[in-house]
């Protein structure tokens, strides 16, 4: 798994995930988000695209939940978007939409931030 900072504008960080979001990848990337945007920026609004994610396992889901918790505790907001269909099925089975903010695409995620919506 690789995280990439695609854009930073008006206090919003747009980040994309590429590759497998799995146990071995998560172990290597556990601190990658704070390093990528800076620990002082965890209180920002973060749009996390999963468009480039190939698969996810339980460790990957745990990583997403952990990142969401870290961002919320810092006063920020994490919105996940552009989730591939296979991964969306896993999210639906686990009812992650009740815990995580998930939007259909980047436009919907941006709209959630602008309007303060809680679900896409």
Task: Give the pLDDT confidence score for residue 82 in this predicted structure.
Answer: 98
What pLDDT shows up at residue 49? 98
Within a 10 A sphere around the Cβ of 2, how many other Cβ atoms? 13
CA distances from 105 to 8, 56, 66, 84 (A): 17, 18, 22, 10
Nearest CA-CA partner of 29 in 55, 66, 54, 69: 66
The verdict on domain 2-115 having CATH code 3.20.10.10 is no
Q: What's the confidence (pLDDT) of residue 28?
A: 62
The whole-number mean pLDDT for each consecutive block of 10 residues of the chain, a chain of 120 residues, reads 92 94 71 85 96 93 93 96 97 96 96 75
Distance, in Å, from the CA atom of 110 to the CA atom of 60, rounded to the nearest integer, reads: 24
């Amino acid at each position: 798994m690789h995280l990439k900072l695609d854009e930073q504008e008006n206090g919003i960080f747009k980040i994309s995930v590429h590759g497998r979001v799995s146990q071995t990848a998560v172990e290597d990337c556990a601190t990658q988000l704070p390093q990528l945007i800076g620990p002082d920026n965890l209180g920002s609004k973060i749009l996390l695209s999963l468009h480039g994610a190939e698969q996810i396992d339980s460790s990957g889901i745990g990583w997403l939940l952990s990142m969401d918790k870290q961002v919320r505790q810092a006063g920020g907001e994490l919105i996940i978007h552009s989730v591939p269909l296979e991964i969306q099925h896993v999210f639906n089975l686990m009812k992650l939409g009740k815990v995580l903010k998930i939007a259909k695409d980047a436009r919907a995620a941006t709209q959630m931030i602008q309007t303060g919506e809680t679900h896409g």
